[in-house]
Structures are given as structure tokens and as C-alpha cells.
Structure 1
Amino acid sequence: MKYIYLGAFPPPYGGVTIKNKLLFNKLFDYIEVEQSKFYDKNNNLLLRIISLFTTIIKKKHGLIIGISKNSLKKLTFVLFFMNKKIMNNSIVLVMGGTFPQMVIKDKRLQRLLQEYKRIYVETDGMQKALSSVGVNNVSVFPNCRERADINAEMQKDNQQLRCLFFSLISEDKGADNIFAAAAILNQKDIDYSIDFYGHIAPKYIQKFESSITRNVNLHYCGVFKSTKKNELYNKLQQYDLLLFPTKWKNEGVPGVLVESKIAGIPAIVSDINFNSEIIKDEKTGLVLKKNTPEELAYAIERVYFNRDWLIELKHNAKDSSEEYLIENYIEDIIRLLKE
């Protein structure tokens, strides 16, 4: 059977597009699959809409759907009323962590989702939430990455504790908590640094620039652009801790948490959505229960004064990355699509 992959691809780069590209490339060698023209913005909008309509009404192919939750909801209703048969041949990749909350509130959507061949969510918690309302055609397919051929050596001979923030720089992502925590650390006998990588949210630029210039331990390193294979992981391995005190309510399985695991870097994360499923508290990182600057500063301090524990956290983080490698999931997906 031929499959049409309905979803956005890079550029631009983001969690959804990276996940779609990775899966598409893996599937391409095993099944007949092509990208939908609907998301190709180089084409005329009318032609894109016609292409989407044609894809929806055809009955002799299946869909691989990797789109946002709101778009998925709309598409599900359209498919059900226009071509329910195609749903039985289609799989869905849920993007983000708030999809179950939307489904729990919508009984009609719950019934329609059961028409899909399979729905893949990113965590066990999401699967259990959907199962609780009778949506049982669900399996777990995390926000995966490919296995990386990188140096697995865990360093512990540096006095300075090297931390990084690797995401959109905004208050929603917890940048303000990091600044406040750094001010607390400055009052203690702790040799640390925090490097920021990422785009700065337009509304946060002035505040960010003002805050970072007041602390010599903090540095803005721009937007990291990887041009070579494994370059990202080699960069991450220069650090001891990833800081991710996000407050954003729509977090799913952030790619940076998976990438830090592959690099063997433990993360300090807020206890929001599914972060505590991804990061096991005091095993592969630390989970902030209240997500306050004081709690973040204390977590950094604990690691700073216990380097043997830091090495243990690094090894555990690296070991846990096996759960997020696409090689461990792709065969089951291919087998399902070939049924």
C-alpha cells in the first residue's frame, strides 16, 4: 500500500518537523511513501488545498499524520465524514503533551479516534490517559533520535560546574528562574557557568540582555547551528548539566531532553506535563517540584558538591537514551504499515 505523509518538514526546524523528517527518512527505505504537497509553501495555496482534498478522498492509500493537535482534531472530523475507510489504513503521530487533555474533554473525538489504525503518543502517561476514556488503539513512540557515534567518556576533573540552557529563551521556558537562581549561587562558594543557546523571544530581548550583562558567570552563545553529524552531541558533552525549568503548559517530550540523554548529560527540569517521566528524579537528573529559583539553585549546589553523584547521573542519563532511539521502534511501525 502507498502512504502519504501529511505533516510539515524542515525548514523551519522545530520539534514537529524534525520528528517528521526522521520517521519519513526511515520509512522511505521500506515502504512506498511520499510527502503531501499541502505543506510545501513554495506551491500556490489553492493548489495545496486541492492536493490535500485529493489525498483525503482517495481510498487506495493510507496516511501517516504528523501535525499539531488542533489540526489533527479538524482533520479527524473531515476524514470521518468524507472517507472513514482511509482512517483504518492510517497512523497518527501525536505531537506535544496536551493532546490527551483535549481528547478527555471531547467524547465525540474519542469515538472518532478509534477509527485510526494506530495512534502513537510520546509517553506512557499519555497512553494511559487516552486509555482511560476508551481510546485503546494507542502505542508509545517517543520523540526519538538516531543513535550517535560519540565519545562516552564522562569527565569529572573540572572544578567549574558547566551548565547550559538550550531552547527558546523566554520566561515561558524558565529563563527568568535561571537568572534568579544564578543570583543566589553568587552568594555561595560555587564555581559555575551557564551558557544560553537559542533564539530570544522578541518580547524578552531587552530583559534578557539586561539580566545577562549583570552576571559574569552567564553567557549568551547565540543559536547553535549544526553542520556536521554528531556536532550537536559533541557540543552538549562540553557541559555537566542541562537546565530546563520550563513553565510552558504545552511541553510534550522536548527534543533537547532526548539529545542531552544521548550526550550523557543529566538535566534539571520542572515538574510539568511529562518531564518527570522523561527525567527520573535523582537518577537521570533532578525534577523541581515547585520550580522556584531557590529550588533550582539548591539543585545545582547539590550536584556541585557531589561530583561522584554527577558522574552516576551522567551514566544513567546515557543508559536511558536507549528508550529514545528510533532504531528500537521503527521495525514495529513498518510491520504495522505492511499489515
Structure 2
Amino acid sequence: MAKTRVIFIGSQNLGGLLDDGETMKNHMLSNAIEKHVDIVTRIDVRNRPKRYYYLLKLLLNLLFFRDSKIVMSSSPMVADSLLKVMKMLKWIGNNIYYWVIGGTFGKLIQEGKVEKTKYLDLHKIIVEGVSMKAQLEEAGFQNSMVLPNMKTIDYLPVLKEKNKKPIKFVFLSRVMPQKGVNYIIDAAHSLVESGINDFIVDIYGRIDPSYETELHSKIKEDKNVEYKGFLMLNEKNGYDTLASYDVMLFPTYWHGEGFPGIIIDAFVAGLPVIASNWNLNTSLIKDNSNGVIIPVHDVSALAEAMKNVISGKTNINLMSKNAQKEAMRYDVNNVITNDLLRDLEIIN
């Protein structure tokens, strides 16, 4: 019997830190697929020092293993370039699967900024939300399906009582204005100015280089807000640290936001999430059940939601239980199964 081969192409930072959502998702997704197929060949589009090695590796695999299934898990820009290469090598679309990263692909198709003819014949386009599937169907696509973002969940921290002062808020994502970091700092300043001091905000994540000076300037003399560096969630102690907080803040307006894996991480740790009504945030967060949804670009609403947590008006202990219960829906082992891969015709 012929071996089942998958060529997995995406940002994986092999040998380096899993320091952003796309890289963490691709690492987890390729590992999950590997449990069900014979051979997974990884092509890392992020590893710039080895980019020519991976390009050669990709070309050789495309030339000599033409029965392989191709899984592209990337932004539309990267996928576009990859499909050009495959077209040159006369690869047929029914062996190609596009696992969409981010929340912009459907809109780019509708606006004509991505050439849709390249994608119409792909075997399957896998998106994270029903809204993007609807956008694609309106544009004439019949090959899309919805799968949520997912996480490897093999550990659930013990929930802690969340009514002790100071209330501990946390932000964990790429640190840049578009993720709402300035709004968090401004909301914290607003609370302090109104006489509310019994809270802290800790910020974790890779700082966008263009934002580093501004961030440190804004929090330089701030007693309530602190940048804490990286928090790695590939070990239990990372989740234990996350679980020591009370609520996650995520007032994002980043154009590339899809189905944020960091919200699943928060749920695993039993953290309710105060998040903006942006892209697919409401696909995960049920308002006043496992989090609070606020309007986009609204610092006052963010400050009010934080104030309600601090005062006890918001029942974060109940939300915490609901959040951790919801997390298991997104366990990769409950999403990437033999049945799913057979339905996709990745395996027989």
C-alpha cells in the first residue's frame, strides 16, 4: 500500500521559539496531522536563514512525490506565492488544501485583491468562522468549510478564587497598538484617575519593533501596568502563571485577526476575556457568560468593564468555570480526527 504523504507549508519557526499565534497553530496542526498519516514533510516559510533550503526541499517534494497532499496554512499573501509555484509545476488543485490563517481572506476575495481563480479548484479551503465561509460562497466558492481554531489541551489548571484584591488583568499577544495595547494602558490610567487603584495589568508578548519605544514611554512611571516579557504556554507552568490572573484583556482591532487562539488559552486557564466586538471574537466569547464584549475602539467601555470586575459587579468566578468548560471544545484531538481527515480525503 502506498504511503500517505502530506507536505505541510506554513510559518513554523522550526528550532526556534513558538512566539506568535500563527507559528503555534502550525506547529500544533502539523503534529496533529502527523498522528494520522505516514509522512509529514514540513516546509517552514518563516525560517529566513534556511529559506533556500526549504525552497529546494519544497521543489524536490513537489517534483518527486506528486501523490502528496499539500496543506498550506498561511496568510493569503504567502498562499498566493505558493500557488504560483505549484501552477508552474503543473500541480492540480484537488490535492491542495488551504488552511486559512487570519480573518481577511474572504474580504480580500470580495474586493478583488486576491485572484480567486487560483483558489476555486483547490480541494478544500478551511476557514475559522461562518462569516468568512459566507463571504466565499457569495464570491462563488463551493469548496470551503468551517473548522474552529484549536489548541493542544492536555492540562487544565486548578481554578482559583477570583475575588481577591488587587484584581489581576493580563494581556497576552503580539504587543502593538492594533491589538489594543494603548487602549488597555489608557483605560488603566482612566481608572487610576477616578480613584481606583486596586488592580494591576501585566502585558506579555513579542513587542512590535516600531512600538517598543512608545510602549516603554507610556508605562515608564506606571505603577499599575507592567511589561513582563514572554509567557510560553507549551509547558504546564506557563498555564499555571496565566491561571494566576483574573481576567484577560483583548480589545483588538488588528486587520488580520481571525479566530484568536489566545482566547482559547485564556479559557484553558479559566480566564474570562474582555474583548472587542471584532472579527471572530464573538464566535468564542458569549457575552456575560465566559467574557464581556465591548465596542471596538472604545476606551471608556473597556474601563467600565474593568471597573465592574474590580467592584465585583461582574461575577468572574462563574465566568471562569464557564470559560474552562468551553475550552475543551477546541482541543485539537477533538477537531483533527481520522473521520475528519477521511472526509477531507487527506487519508483513505
TM-score by length of 2: 0.87
Equivalent position to 1:174, from 168, 173, 180 = 180
Q: Deviations over 1:174-204 (max 9, x none)?
A: 2211121112111134511111112333333
Q: Matched residues in 2 for 1:116 and 1:160: separation?
A: 52
In the superposition, relative to structure 1, how do residues 178 and 44 fare at CA in structure 2: closer, same or farther (>3 Å)?
Answer: closer
In the superposition, relative to structure 1, how do residues 97 and 229 fare at CA in structure 2: closer, same or farther (>3 Å)?
Answer: same
Match of 1:320 in 2: 326
In the superposition, relative to structure 1, how do residues 173 and 22 fare at CA in structure 2: closer, same or farther (>3 Å)?
Answer: same
Percent of paired sites with the same residue:
26
In the superposition, relative to structure 1, how do residues 154 and 122 fare at CA in structure 2: closer, same or farther (>3 Å)?
Answer: same
Alpha-carbon shift at residue 323 of structure 1 (Å): 2.9
Equivalent position to 1:66, from 58, 61, 73 = 73
Match of 1:231 in 2: 237
In the superposition, relative to structure 1, how do residues 127 and 232 fare at CA in structure 2: closer, same or farther (>3 Å)?
Answer: farther
Match of 1:3 in 2: 6
1:117 aligns with 2:123: yes
Q: Matched residues in 2 for 1:255 and 1:44: separation?
A: 27
* Number of aligned positions between the proteins: 336
In the superposition, relative to structure 1, how do residues 60 and 191 fare at CA in structure 2: closer, same or farther (>3 Å)?
Answer: same
Q: Which amino acid letter does the alignment assign opposite residue 204 of structure 2?
A: Y
Match of 2:21 in 1: 15
Alpha-carbon shift at residue 324 of structure 1 (Å): 1.7
| 8 Å Cα contact 2:12-2:44 kept in structure 1 | no
Root mean square deviation, CA, Å: 2.5
In the superposition, relative to structure 1, how do residues 180 and 330 fare at CA in structure 2: closer, same or farther (>3 Å)?
Answer: same
Q: Deviations over 1:262-310 (max 9, x none)?
A: 1110111122222222222222211221432211100111222236621
Alpha-carbon shift at residue 70 of structure 1 (Å): 0.8
Match of 1:104 in 2: 110
Please show how residues 163-242 of structure 1 align to structure 2 within 5 Å. 163-186=169-192, 187-189=194-196, 191-225=198-232, 229-242=235-248
Q: Deviations over 1:65-110 (max 9, x none)?
A: 112211212333443464243x212222111111111122339843
| 8 Å Cα contact 2:98-2:125 kept in structure 1 | yes
Alpha-carbon shift at residue 38 of structure 1 (Å): 6.3
* 3-state SS, counterpart of residue 172 of structure 1: helix
Q: Which amino acid letter does the alignment assign opposite residue 212 of structure 1?
A: I
Q: Matched residues in 2 for 1:7 and 1:239: separation?
A: 32
Alpha-carbon shift at residue 43 of structure 1 (Å): 4.4
Regions of 4+ moved over 6 Å: none
| 8 Å Cα contact 1:64-1:93 kept in structure 2 | yes
In the superposition, relative to structure 1, how do residues 37 and 244 fare at CA in structure 2: closer, same or farther (>3 Å)?
Answer: closer
Structure 1, gaps ≥5 residues long: none
Q: Deviations over 1:11-33 (max 9, x none)?
A: 24222222121122122232123
Alpha-carbon shift at residue 157 of structure 1 (Å): 4.0
Q: Which amino acid letter does the alignment assign opposite residue 279 of structure 2?
A: N
Report which stretch shifted further, 272-281 or 293-302: 272-281
Q: Matched residues in 2 for 1:44 and 1:317: separation?
A: 40
TM-score by length of 1: 0.89
* 3-state SS, counterpart of residue 272 of structure 1: coil
Q: Deviations over 1:14-57 (max 9, x none)?
A: 22222121122122232123324564655472x54343333334
Equivalent position to 1:266, from 265, 272, 277 = 272
Q: Which amino acid letter does the alignment assign opposite residue 214 of structure 1?
A: E
Q: Matched residues in 2 for 1:105 and 1:159: separation?
A: 49
Q: Deviations over 1:235-264 (max 9, x none)?
A: 111111111112211111222111001111
